[in-house]
Chain A
Amino acid sequence: MSANTPLRGRPRARRSSTALTVAMGLMLLYALLPLFWLVMSSTKDTGSLTSSFGLWFGDGFHLFDNVWNVLSYDDGIYLRWFANTLLYAVVGAGGAALISTAGGYALAKYRFRGRTALAALVLGAIAIPGTALAVPTYLLFSKLGIIDTPWAVLLPSLVSPFGVYLMRVYAIGAVPDSMLEAARIDGSGEIRTFFTISLRLLAPGFVTVLLFSLVATWNNYFLPLIVLSDPEWFPLTVGLNQWNSLATGAAGSGATTTGFYPLVVTGSVLAIIPLVVAFLFLQRFWQSGLAAGSVKE
């Protein structure tokens, strides 16, 4: 199963259908046109944002001005948000992927008392909606005194029951018991075997969990919105929405500051780029990992 199943290469000899290609082309347009609008809009100043046609350039090319304004506004707060997001995503998603991999590996490859119960716990935890816990998490964390610190965002990001589930399914197929036995006979300790041999075999599953946790943490909005009030610790999502509130005047000052629109639009474009690039470059890995998780139930 899974690990070595080639995703491409099924022999195809059939004629391609124009009607089908056109229909799917409409769906592709639906997916990409709004993003094209966003990129076009990031080259416009406030005036031509409202006056020019959305799917083409406006008067003048203001992309570099906009980027400069985004990066320099408020002593470079955007860069701070970017760095925060990077921290939350790298530590949160990296930690979640590693913890989930170890957990799934334990359930798949070790026989210990309570294992069945823990596997059931993982399955049950998938159905517990993360955001229903946001308000209680805030209350608990304020008791613990870690509100308004990176810990409040990082700790909940480390839990990924679905990651454990996926890695368990993946480990059953990808790590042969005979190999673990051989490592034991050679005198390799269990932990060393995990880091030097098993982790390599689990790589596609690991990358899949990593990427999906990366999306979850990079895009996280609800939890940081609740547990952070100091803009210095905001991730991009909370910061961008704050700028939007300033632009629409919903922030309470009453005055609409339309000058913020190019900032929101350009800041959004810059916020999207890292994830899209990560997905494009790592697609070979995560697509085979996804295949494992979606068929074995």
Chain B
Amino acid sequence: MSTSNPPAQATTDRPTGRSRRASRSDRLGHGSFGYVFFAPFLVVFVIGIAAPLAYAAYLSLFQDRLVGGNVFVGFDNYTRALGDDLFRAGLWRVTLFLLVQVPVMLGLALLAALAIDSGRLRWPALFRIGIFVPYAVPAVVASLMWGYLYGDRFGLIRQIGDALHVDVPRLLSDSWMLTSIGNVVTWEYVGYNMLILYAALRTVPQELYEAAEMDGAGEFRKAWSIKLPALRPALALTTVFSIIGTFQLFNEPNVLQSLAPDVVSTSYTPNMYAFNLAFNGQQFNYSAAVAVVLGGVTAVVAYAVQVRSMRKEQSL
């Protein structure tokens, strides 16, 4: 997904080759079946993405007033959102999360993928599948489970700490909450990212390694000079998905809120803020504006990373 050009070029080449064989009318005839096969996606895309997006943009331009009812206010909601301290605090929180949790998670996933691919691991299949299992656990269950593990009531972490006479910090307290959430997210997705990276590694031709070995390259040299460059597209993909996931953070803090109501505020993340504005505050118009700004920020950052990784690839 980091480069849209090469596949597009590749596919425009192919039909020209085919058209030499097939007659013109024939090609036009079955070409239109492309619409038939694409139509179902287009329909659900409009219902599931395009229409809500347009509706949100429309709603965000209005305000419910005591006097005058629903009135057009232009970009007032947006100016308010940009100056909203609660929104900004949430945005800063997820940015911090992005800068720390995503590199840690992807770094672990990368090391695990390289380890499994190195061929020097006993029972690689066990590790590949075992580390991936948490991905199949719903975020709600993962958050409840870790929440219990963190907590005082029957927290395993505290039990282990007591047994070893180590002082365990209060993991559901204000100063630890973001780290605790980061751990839940890392636990859920490290195996998933590992598998994507591992799948990319498996497509490196064996001859490349053999050639490198003949040139006297060691295991680390091979990892650095062959494996990492081969992983670049997959790394870009996992980074973009992680960025989107982080800005949208909702499930984990929302579930942990019931275990630590004083710590996880209703505006802990921007998405929680948008949710609570709409469903606890009935401020639908303002909530729509917050959702649009959040979506915009996410798309811009995700896109910037895509472009950056594209440039790197071209410079190789």
Contacts and interface: CB of A to CB of B under 8 A. Distances in A.
Contacts of B34: 106-107, 109-112, 115
B202 A35 contact: no
A181 B22 CA distance: 9
Contacts of A112: 31-32, 34-35
A44 to B, nearest CB: 9
Nearest to A5: B203
B88 to A, nearest CB: 17
Contact of A271 (B138, B240, B261): B138
Interface string A190-231: 110010000000000000000000010011011000100000
Provide the main secondary structure of the chain B interface.
Answer: helix
Interface string B92-122: 0000000000000000100010011011111
B44 interface: yes
B295 A108 contact: no
Interface string B22-39: 100011001111111110
A132 B237 contact: no
Given A241-B140, A297-B236, A164 B41 contact: yes
A140 B51 contact: yes
Nearest to B302: A127
Nearest to A243: B144
A149 interface: no
Given A111-B27, A279-B136, A105 B37 contact: yes
A53 B155 CA distance: 10
Interface in B269-316: 271, 274-275, 278-279, 284, 287-288, 291-292, 294-295, 298-299, 302-303, 306
Contact of B130 (A28, A110, A138, A194): A28
B310 to A, nearest CB: 9
A245 B259 CA distance: 8
B146 A135 contact: no
Contacts of B224: none
A102 to B, nearest CB: 4
B59 A28 contact: no
Interface of B: 1-4, 6-8, 10-11, 14-15, 18, 21-22, 26-27, 30-38, 40-42, 44-45, 47-49, 51-53, 55-56, 59, 108, 112, 115-116, 118-123, 126-127, 129-141, 144-146, 148-149, 153-154, 156, 159, 187, 190-191, 195-197, 199-200, 202-203, 206, 230, 233-234, 236-237, 240, 244, 247-248, 250-251, 254-255, 257-259, 261, 271, 274-275, 278-279, 284, 287-288, 291-292, 294-295, 298-299, 302-303, 306
Interface of A: 1-2, 5, 7, 10-12, 14-17, 20-21, 23-24, 27-28, 30-32, 34-35, 37-38, 41, 49-50, 53-55, 98-100, 102-103, 105-112, 115-116, 118-121, 123, 125-140, 155-156, 158-159, 161, 164-165, 168-169, 172, 177, 181, 184, 190-191, 194, 215, 218-219, 221-222, 226, 236-238, 240-241, 244-245, 248, 250, 261, 264-265, 268, 271-272, 275-276, 278-280, 283, 287, 290-291, 293-297
